[in-house]
């Protein structure tokens, strides 16, 4: 006697109804009807790099790739071996794929022009932080990869491509991150919502597990390095005091979570509600996070998930980049909390205090 599928749902873990990342991109690539699947192939290339990076991270101690390279990168930060591996694998995957004509990496001083396939119908530029939070690798804590994708006008003068590419984050055509945590997740947007995929190492595929993510408007978690509190403005300290008050109705209190990896803090806050802040400090008077390949991609994601991202005064996605590695103060997460932070930082905290 045959049963309809609904009467016999597949057992847990059965992969009958899974959606792979590749199938999802093909199904949803209506965003690029003019492309001949070029964007789908570009995202595939990024996901291949993510799998290779994940493979190295998960076995770093065994492969003896923990620790530093002995070199300092353009950020004047001591480079980890895994920083170099992640940077190399992303560049290799994008070169192999032939869809990308320009890359900009946290680990490279300048942008790198690539030679896309002559038949390429779209000219894509990809900016990335290959391994965010890499100081965590030696202590087995979470890290991530962040990427930002722009299209470029056809036949861009290669000498001018970097200036053509340095555009406000609102012009990104896609953005995403890979979170190498207790599981490995690939989360991205093409401007049509945010979707999360979990890597099944057994079959080497990213499978759709978190469709249509929306950030809760909850004051659940906040992420900031309060060791810098002496550097914070009186307005920011007032905001933090407000943030830590018990909820007058529920008595609930916000929790502090700061992992040392923006991707990991961002991903958790995306699921629970809350905000991440890296304001201007004495060591980082412009803020620490980089606009092109950290703040912008995450700002596109959080807005697509119903949240907000600000430098304290302006929308991150509206900022006009001037150079590849420029930094920005960053307040990103649930919309009501970012609006409250802006009110305090702009001297309008009394408006928020009154609302509790």
What residues line the site for ligand P6P (CB under 6 A)? 132-133, 225, 260-262, 288-289
What residue spans of the chain are helical by DSSP H?
21-28, 38-58, 60-63, 81-97, 161-165, 234-243, 262-272, 296-304, 335-345, 349-355
**Distance in Å, CB of 21 to ligand P6P, minimum:** 24
From the CB of 179, what's the least distance to ligand P6P, in Å? 12
Q: Which is nearer to ligand P6P, 263 or 305 (CB)?
A: 263
CA atoms within 13 A on the CB side of 228: 19
Instruction: Compute the distance between CA of residue 210 and CA of residue 301 in angstroms, rounded to an integer.
Output: 14
Please report how close the Cβ of residue 257 comes to ligand P6P at its closest, in angstroms. Answer: 11
Give the integer Cα–Cα distance in Å for 46 and 177.
10
Q: Which is nearer to ligand P6P, 267 or 288 (CB)?
A: 288
Nearer to ligand P6P, 205 or 294 (CB): 294
Nearer to ligand P6P, 102 or 179 (CB): 179
In a 3-state reduction of DSSP, which class is residue 250? coil
Cβ–Cβ < 8 Å for 60, 86: no
Provide, rounded to whole angstroms, the least separation between the CB of residue 246 and ligand P6P: 26
Which of 216, 260 has the CB closer to ligand P6P? 260
Cβ distance 129 to 148 under 8 Å? Answer: no
Which one-letter DSSP state was computed for residue 64? T
- As measured in angstroms, the least distance from the Cβ of 75 to ligand P6P is 9
Distance CA 79, CA 96 (A): 25
Cα 136–chain centre separation: 17
Nearer Cβ to ligand P6P (80/308): 80
Nearest distance from residue 55's CB to ligand P6P, in Å?
22
């Amino acid at each position: 006697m045959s049963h309809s599928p609904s009467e016999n749902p597949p057992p847990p873990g059965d992969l009958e109804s899974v959606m792979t990342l590749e199938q999802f991109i093909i199904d949803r690539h209506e965003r690029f009807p003019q492309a001949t699947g070029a964007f789908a192939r570009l995202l595939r290339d990024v996901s291949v790099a993510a799998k290779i990076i994940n493979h190295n991270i998960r076995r770093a101690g065994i492969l003896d790739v923990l620790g530093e390279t002995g070199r300092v990168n353009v950020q004047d930060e001591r480079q980890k071996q895994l920083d170099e591996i992640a940077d190399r694998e992303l560049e290799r995957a994008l070169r192999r794929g032939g869809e990308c004509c320009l890359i900009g990496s946290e680990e490279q001083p300048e942008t790198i022009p690539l030679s896309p396939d002559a038949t390429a119908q779209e000219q894509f530029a990809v900016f990335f932080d290959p391994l965010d939070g890499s100081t965590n690798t030696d202590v087995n804590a979470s890290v991530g990869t962040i990427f930002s994708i722009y299209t470029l006008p056809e036949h861009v003068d290669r000498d001018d491509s970097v200036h053509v590419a340095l555009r406000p984050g609102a012009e990104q055509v896609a953005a995403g991150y890979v979170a190498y945590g207790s599981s490995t997740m690939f989360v991205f947007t093409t401007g049509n919502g945010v979707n999360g995929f979990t890597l099944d190492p057994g079959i080497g595929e990213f499978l759709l597990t978190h469709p249509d993510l929306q950030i809760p408007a909850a004051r659940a978690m906040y992420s900031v390095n309060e060791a810098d509190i002496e550097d914070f403005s009186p307005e920011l300290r007032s905001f933090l005091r407000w943030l830590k008050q018990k909820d007058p109705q529920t008595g609930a209190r916000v929790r502090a979570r700061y992992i040392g990896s923006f991707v990991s803090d961002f991903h958790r806050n995306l699921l629970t509600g809350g905000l991440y802040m890296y304001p201007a400090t004495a060591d980082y008077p412009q803020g620490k996070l980089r606009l092109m390949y950290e703040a912008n991609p995450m700002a596109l994601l959080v807005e697509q998930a119903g949240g907000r991202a600000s430098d304290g005064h302006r929308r991150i996605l509206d900022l006009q980049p001037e150079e590849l590695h420029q930094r920005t103060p960053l307040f990103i997460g649930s919309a009501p909390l970012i609006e409250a932070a802006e009110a305090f930082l702009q001297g309008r905290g009394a408006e928020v205090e009154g609302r509790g």
